Amino acid sequence: MAFDLKNNLAIAFDKRASLFDVTDAYRVVNGVADDFPGLTLDRYGERFQIQFFGPELLRRKNEIVNAIGELFNPVCVVVKERLSSAGRSLENAPMDVAVGSREDAVGIVREGKAQFHVDLMDTINPGLFLDMRHVRLEVEERFRAMTGTYSAHPETANVSPLHPETAQSSTPAAFEGPRFLNLFSYTCSFSVHARLGGAAVATNADISGKILDKGRENYALNGLDLYPGEFFRGNAIEYVRWAKKKGLHFDGIVLDPPSFARFKGFNFNVREHLMPLVAECAELLNPDGFFMVSSNYSEFNLNSFARDVLAAVSSVHPNAKTSWKKSQDVDFVGSGSTKDSCLVATLVEVRA
């Protein structure tokens, strides 16, 4: 490939200039759209992650690492090869520290007013999904707008949004204010932003206890108290159905599931189960609340996805309205052109 790697990296970096004051965690290179076919480069503060999704540039790995070193003087560079020799995608990708040490792969990044722990060697994703940044920041702003104007809905004003498996004694005053529900919560980054924006409580549901522990660490990093019951280890569907029985309601809900998941013998897949779950979640949404639904499943079309989500929510709230439908943020140049860079997301508002 006859181009100057270092120069092309610098050009790609300059395209992300609008994000520099917002965050130090963003995608620097997004594959062929940045003239790097089969390769992505993500920045997490002073740490960088290279992922090879194809063989096109793999032979130039050392040259790419050197160019990153000259341009950014990184503390750590981690390389992940996401393609097998047979051309199949690998979820358990081989990982290698090309610059720095294993210990250097751990750090903290900033995003707006929030901070998050990352570990580039933990899994494929270091702990923060970069393509959802713009939505996380909006969630914070929406809760900030609610603060001071919140009026509890009488049917749930004295109901605690805690699951019996995790509920402990709590001060009722802790839950006086807008409430947020984060399903398939991962490391709870949406909830950190919601709490920073003024959400009184943010309930996180995820099947992984290890991941929820990372969420607790992110709360602590941001100076947020951990209220009893905010972290529910279990199936998100289970929590939704329990909440429905208890008559719980929330002022904001985020549903960002994996394409496929398995829990206690149940196989979740977004094609079959997402829209019915959207309708169930809609029953938990307060009037004047918002509901964001997203997926990285590459077969979804944004327009039809947004239409289906609105239909599911409207089956419960006839006055529901689509606020927006969008894909990945500005650092994901050419989003949707490849299977490794795709996102469909829509936000629905419910009117009183």
pTM: 0.90
102 shares a domain with 36: yes
Q: What is the CATH number of the domain that holds 135?
A: 3.40.50.150
Asked whether residue 124 is assigned to any structural domain, the reply reads no
Q: Which residues of the chain form beta strands (DSSP E)?
A: 25-30, 39-44, 47-52, 76-81, 95-99, 106-111, 114-119, 179-183, 201-206, 231-233, 250-255, 260-263, 266-269, 285-295, 321-326, 344-349
174 shares a domain with 75: no
What are the residues whose beta carbons fall under 8 Å from the beta carbon of 201, sequence distance 6 or more? 161, 174, 175, 177, 179, 180, 227, 230
Q: Contact 35/8 with Cβ under 8 angstroms?
A: yes
335 shares a domain with 202: yes
108 shares a domain with 175: no
Query: The domain containing residue 176 runs over which residues?
Result: 130-349
Chosen domain end from 59, 88, 119: 119
Q: At what angle do helices 302-314 and 270-282 cross, to 10 degrees?
A: 40
Q: How many domains does the chain have?
A: 2
252 shares a domain with 157: yes
Q: What is the pLDDT along the chain (352 residues), one digit of tens a residue?
A: 446 899 999 999 999 999 999 999 999 999 999 999 999 999 999 999 999 998 899 999 999 999 999 999 999 999 999 876 555 556 677 899 999 999 999 999 999 999 999 999 998 789 999 999 999 999 999 999 998 665 555 454 444 555 544 443 333 344 679 999 999 999 999 999 999 999 999 999 999 999 999 999 999 999 999 998 899 999 899 999 999 999 999 999 999 998 877 777 778 888 999 999 999 999 999 999 999 999 998 899 999 999 999 999 999 999 999 999 999 999 999 887 777 778 999 999 998 7
Rg (CA), the chain: 21
Torsion sign, CA atoms 91, 122, 43, 296: positive
d(C-alpha 162, C-alpha 112), whole Å: 29
Q: What is the CATH number of the domain that holds 47?
A: 3.30.750.80
Beta strands 76-81 and 47-52 are parallel
90 shares a domain with 148: no
**SS3 state of residue 93:** coil
